Amino acid sequence: MYREYGGVPPFKGESRWEVLHFDPPRRQVHRGTDVAMRFLLEITLEPVEDGTRLYQTLDLTPKWFAWPLSLAMWPLVMKRRGFAALRATQANAKRLLEGGSAG
């Protein structure tokens, strides 16, 4: 279990996570929750001929009271910001895999 501060602006806050599966460095699965959402994050690293392929999936499930807001905010704001946050996470993972430091 761990806690993290983050999210997609303007919905940032503390979330609580549980590691469900951890097989370093190949695969990890985390389940999280915050005030409005439930998350399931899976990260898989697969060796390929010329390096390593990173697969990252994030399933988001709004809690019952957040559904109406999510339906309105996703196409207007959250989709773009959410994908930008995922790209930043993937860039950090790439730097770590290549031996650099995450920023």
Q: What is the pLDDT of residues 36-71, one digit of tens each?
A: 888 898 989 898 998 888 888 888 888 888 788 777
Per the domain annotation, does 26 fall within a domain?
yes
Per the domain annotation, does 74 fall within a domain?
yes
Per the domain annotation, does 90 fall within a domain?
yes
Per the domain annotation, does 52 fall within a domain?
yes
Per the domain annotation, does 33 fall within a domain?
yes
Per the domain annotation, does 7 fall within a domain?
yes
Of the candidates 35, 103, 98, the residue with the CA atom closest to the CA atom of residue 16: 35
Query: Which of the four pLDDT bands, split at 50, 70 and 90, describes residue 9?
Result: low
Per the domain annotation, does 19 fall within a domain?
yes
Domain count, the chain: 1
Of the candidates 5, 4, 10, the residue with the CA atom closest to the CA atom of residue 81: 10
| Domain region containing 19 | 2-97
Per the domain annotation, does 102 fall within a domain?
no
Contact 53, 45 (CB under 8 A): yes
Rounded to an integer, the average pLDDT of 64-91 is 77
